[in-house]
Amino acid sequence: MIRSNAIRGKADSLKRLITSVKSNKDLPDEVVGHMGRYLCVICAGFIETSLAEVFADYVTKRSAEEVASFCLDTLRKIQNPKASRIEEVCARFDKSISVPLKQYLDDGAGARRLSIDSVMNNRHQIAHGKQSSITIGQVETHLERAIDVFVFIENHFHL
């Protein structure tokens, strides 16, 4: 379970929204399709903000206020982070995470890496008016895998 209250709150809110849409059997197929795309964009935002949030306590506890402010501002400017970008950011805080994080992302035929990258790729397609066939069920799976990655990062950094 994710320890960061901010990340957990956003994840729980997104999970409730997914459950609500999935349980509404009266929605027309077209609306369900639009909701899948909407939820994908929200999931991408969750991943983006969680990357900054996972390091918020770490940075504020270990750095002078000015340094922490700079780090957090820089982290908050990261947009559409695919798995490789998450790896890069984590390695900047601690190079020893590189190998275990890569292995964790690539376990199970790379499902975690593929999930994060799929959310970001689909978000890009959706934002630019292109077709995306992502489903609510896929978003739900991708969200769970992304949460798993942030739990892994929290555990590594003892957050």
Which band of pLDDT confidence, cut at 50, 70 and 90, is reported for residue 21? very high
pLDDT score, position 159: 78
pLDDT score, position 109: 94
pLDDT at 57 over 90: no
- The average confidence (pLDDT) of the chain is 96
pLDDT for 71-91, tens place per residue? 999 999 999 999 999 999 999
Calpha distance 154→159 (Å, rounded) = 5
Calpha distance 16→22 (Å, rounded) = 10
Mean pLDDT value across residues 135-148: 98
pTM, full prediction: 0.95
Q: Is 26 exposed, middle or buried (0-12, 13-18, 19+ CB in 10 A)?
A: exposed
Q: Name the nearest CA neighbour of 150 among 79, 61, 100, 86.
A: 86
